[in-house]
Structure 1
C-alpha cells in the first residue's frame, strides 16, 4: 500500500510493560490502511509483542550499540538510508534526547517526544547533570510533544503548554468482556483462598517490591489468610525470590513472571497494590479500574490515576502495617460497567478514540 504513512517508534524492547502496552492498544486500533507502525529496539532478544507486531504489518528493527552515542550514530545512519520515515516517535524518556537528535541530523522533519514518567529516579550528581542536558535537549529538538498525564508532561517538557495529553488508553469493551468470564480465575487456577492480592510491574527498584514483601510479612504475622501474586520480570527477579525464601513467605507469595492473563488476574483478585517510588500514568491502573478492581497506591504516584470511581486509595510507603490494615478491611469491587465506561470515555481512556486522534495527528504531518 503505497499511500500508507510509516511511523518509526523508538522503544527499548516491546515487552508487556506500561508504555509498550499503551502503544500496542493504540496500534491495534489504528487504521492500518493509512498508518503503519515500525519499532526501533535496542536488543536482539525477542519482545513479548514482536509476533503480534509482525502480524499487524509492522517491523522490529534492532539497533545494537555499546553506548548511547554509538546508538545515536547508528540510528542516524539508519534514518538516512530509509527516507520513507518522516515521523519519529520516541518513548524512552530522557534518552529521547539522543534519538531525536539523531533524527534531526538525519533530516527527519517530524520528531515526537513522548513522556511516560514523572521522574528519572536518579540522584547522583553526574546523573542530575545528564538529566538537565536531556531535558533541555528534548525541548529543543522535539517538534511535537506528548505526555501521558500532566505530571509526566511537566517533568519532561517543563509545563503542559503545547503538549498533547494522551492518556494511557485501553480496549474497554474487550477488557470488560474478558473480565466477566474470569471472576474465579485465581481460585480455579491456583486454589487461592483468603485475600487475593496482585502486583503488576517490572521487577526493579522503582516498583518497590521490597515494601510489598514487608506487607506480606505483616499479614503473615497477623495470621491472615492471603496470597500475593507478583507479575512481571526484571533485574531483581532472583533477589526477590531469595528474599521470599528467607522471610518464609514461599507459601503466600507467588511469582508468575511475564504473564499474559493480566485481565483474568485483575478480574479475580481482591486488591492490586502499587507501592512505587514514582510513576507516570501507569496503564495497569487504568486496566484495574476498567474491571472494577480496588487498588492501594503509593502517594508518590500521580493523583491523575484516580478516575473518580472510588477504586484507588493513596497511602504513604512509610508503614507496611497501614497497608496491611487497609487490605484486611477489604473494599468491594465496582460492578457498574456503565459508570466505569462513562468515566473512562469522559477522561479519554478509550484506545479506539485515541487511535483516531493519533491518526489525525500523523496524517497532518
Structure 2
C-alpha cells in the first residue's frame, strides 16, 4: 500500500476539503492512503479519515510561530519523507512554497502542485510572491494540476498548461447523493422554517470577499421589495461574517436572510432550495455550482466564473455590475422547473466514481 502526503487542508469546510474527502472515500485504500500535514488540530473530516487509515500531522502555523513552523517542517520531513510516493500540494496561491521546497529537498519522487483558484486577492505582497514563485514552482514540481484551464493559467505558464505534465482534475462529486429527494426537502425546509409557498434562494461559500455576499444582499433587498415570499440562506463561515450580519441588519433583511454557518449535509440542504445563486468575483471551478446543478436547481452565477461549470440550460451567467439584472434573473429562475437529469454532468467528467479511478491511476503510475 502506497501513501500520498497532502498539504492544503484547513480548518474551513471549503471546496478543497470537500473535494479531497470525496476522492478519499472512493479510492482503493488497500492500494493507496492519504496523509495530511496541517497547521491546526481541528479540520473537517479528520475523524472520518482517521477511521479509514489516513493520518494527520500537525505543525505550528507560520504566521503565529515561525520558529516552531520551520522546526516542525524539518522534523516531519526528516522522519516521514521516505514514506511517500507523492506529495500533493493544494492551494489557491503560490505565495508560500515552503512545503513544496521540502518535498523537493527530501526527494519525494512525485511533487504535484494543484491550483484551485484564478486570482490572488490578499494584497500586493501576496501577489508579488505569487508571481515570483511561479518559476520556482515549475522547477520543483513534477506534475501540474488545476481544477480548470483558467486556474491552471493562474499558476503556470502557457507552455506548462499545454504540456503533458498538466492535468485538469475535475471537482467531481457523488451524483447519487444530490439526486432529488422529496422527504429530505420537506425535512430541511422544516428545519430552516420555510413554508411551502416561499421561494428559497441558496448560496454555499466562504464568507469572504471572493464570494461577493455584499452584492448578493443588495440585489436580494431589491427582490424582497417586489416579492414578500422569498428567503435567502447563506451556508458557510468566514472572516466577513460580522460585516455580513451588520449589512443584513442595515438592509432590514433579518426576516428574509438566514446565516446557517458550517453545514455538512449540503446534499440535503440543496433539496430545500429552489434557486442557487453565486455572484463570486472569481472562482477556480466551484464545486458548489456543480452540486447545485446535480440537485437539479436553476442557477444564477457570476459571468466571471469559468464557462466549464455550466451543464444545465437552467444555469445562467449574469453580470455582477448590475443588481437590477440579478433581480430579474432571480425572478426568472424562480419560475423554472427543477431538473432530474445528471447526464451532462457525468459526461463532462464530474462523476466521482469514474474520476476516482483516473486519480488512482495518476498517483500510482
SS at match of 1:353: helix
Distance 1:250 1:273, change over 3 A: same
Q: Which runs of 5 or more structure 2 residues have no equivalent in the other structure? A: none
Q: Distance in 2 between matches of 1:127 and 1:155?
A: 14
Residue pair 1:175, 1:291 contacting (<8 A) in 2 also: yes
| 1:142 lines up with 2:124 in the alignment | no
Distance 1:75 1:41, change over 3 A: same
Please say which of residues 129-138 and 288-297 is displaced more in the overlay.
Answer: 129-138
What corresponds to 1:187 in structure 2?
189
Cα deviation for residue 206 of structure 1 reads: 0.8
| 1:59 lines up with 2:55 in the alignment | yes
Equivalent runs, 1:81-96 vs 2, <5 Å: 81-82=79-80, 83-93=82-92, 94-95=94-95
Please say which of residues 66-75 and 78-87 is displaced more in the overlay.
Answer: 66-75
Q: Distance in 1 between matches of 2:107 and 2:320?
A: 47
What corresponds to 2:153 in structure 1?
154
Moved over 6 A (4+): none
Cα deviation for residue 279 of structure 1 reads: 0.3
What corresponds to 2:355 in structure 1?
354
Please, which of 276, 284, 291 is the counterpart of residue 288 of structure 2? 284
Q: Distance in 2 between matches of 1:145 and 1:96?
A: 16
Query: CA-to-partner distance for each residue in 1:59-112, whole Å, 9 max, x for gaps?
Result: 121121334975466324312211212311010231463221121112212111
Equivalent runs, 1:260-275 vs 2, <5 Å: 260-275=264-279
Cα deviation for residue 48 of structure 1 reads: 2.3
Q: Distance in 1 between matches of 2:183 and 2:339?
A: 14
Please, which of 153, 167, 171 is the counterpart of residue 170 of structure 2? 167
SS at match of 2:179: helix
What corresponds to 1:320 in structure 2?
323
TM-score with structure 1 setting the length: 0.91
What corresponds to 2:121 in structure 1?
121
RMSD, matched Cα: 1.9
| 1:24 lines up with 2:21 in the alignment | yes
Q: Which runs of 5 or more structure 1 residues have no equivalent in the other structure? A: none
What corresponds to 1:42 in structure 2?
39
| 1:77 lines up with 2:75 in the alignment | yes
Residue pair 2:95, 2:130 contacting (<8 A) in 1 also: no
Query: CA-to-partner distance for each residue in 1:305-350, whole Å, 9 max, x for gaps?
Result: 112x21321111112221111112224244333xx1x212211111
SS at match of 1:182: helix
Cα deviation for residue 123 of structure 1 reads: 5.2
Residue pair 1:169, 1:350 contacting (<8 A) in 2 also: yes
Q: Distance in 2 between matches of 1:163 and 1:180?
A: 41
SS at match of 2:57: strand
Q: Distance in 2 between matches of 1:261 and 1:286?
A: 15
Please, which of 294, 317, 328 is the counterpart of residue 298 of structure 2? 294
Q: Distance in 2 between matches of 1:250 and 1:216?
A: 12
Cα deviation for residue 223 of structure 1 reads: 4.2
Cα deviation for residue 268 of structure 1 reads: 2.0
Q: Distance in 2 between matches of 1:363 and 1:244?
A: 49
Cα deviation for residue 14 of structure 1 reads: 5.5
Distance 1:156 1:73, change over 3 A: farther
Distance 1:333 1:139, change over 3 A: farther
Distance 1:97 1:195, change over 3 A: same
